[in-house]
Amino acid sequence: MTIRFSLLLNFLAAIVWASLQPVAESQNYVVGFVIGFIVLAVFQPEYGRRVGATVAFVIFLLWSIVVSSIQVAKLILSRSPPLDQGIIAIPLRAETALEIATLATAITLTPGTLSVDVKLDGDGGRTLFVHSLKLGDAEALKRDIQTEFEDRILRFTRGANRKLHLED
């Protein structure tokens, strides 16, 4: 059973659950979705892992936005901001348009960073160019984006069965 089909069944379970309730309220859909998720996660563990990875990524992204917003606000409000702007090239393991677009959007949503461009390498790989307001250690920023953002995205788009890391 594919993940898309499992998600469709999950929404169907939510609709069925809500339609069986005496009063039509939006919380009944949520309860039905949660019950459907639990049942499907028991019978389709990969579905449970990928939905869990998606929820974890959204929470991580929201937290990153809050933390980065505070850091950028401090930078802007300081008398003489120590700007160390720069653009770095990040080799991507993301392959699909969804993975690349999600990564680029997540980076752009995080204050202080901006996805500039994606280039196709000669060997078929992709490189994402990211502008940072406060670059500091370029290798550390590259590693953070790859491990914190890209790995989390690959966990919910590829699941546990596909390799996430580049070979060294």
- Length, in residues, of the chain: 168
DSSP label of 45: H
Q: Are 55 and 48 in contact (CB under 8 A)?
A: no
Beta-carbon count within 10 A of 79 CB: 4
- Looking at domain 81-158, its CATH class is alpha beta
Residue-wise pLDDT for 50-62, tens only, equals: 989 999 999 999 9
Based on its alpha-carbon atoms, the radius of gyration of the chain, rounded to whole angstroms, reads: 20
pLDDT at 70: 94
Q: Are 93 and 149 in contact (CB under 8 A)?
A: no
Residue-wise pLDDT for 1-51, tens only, equals: 688 888 899 999 999 999 999 988 889 999 999 999 999 999 988 888 998
In this prediction, residue 168 has a pLDDT band, given cuts at 50, 70 and 90, of very low
With 80 as the cut, is the pLDDT of residue 114 above it?
A: yes
Which of 56, 48, 124 is CA-nearest to residue 91? 124
Q: Are 152 and 166 in contact (CB under 8 A)?
A: no
Higher pLDDT, 164 or 97: 97
Q: Are 131 and 85 in contact (CB under 8 A)?
A: yes
Residue-wise pLDDT for 28-39, tens only, equals: 999 999 999 999
Average pLDDT, the chain: 89
With 90 as the cut, is the pLDDT of residue 122 above it?
A: no
Whole-prediction pTM value? 0.80
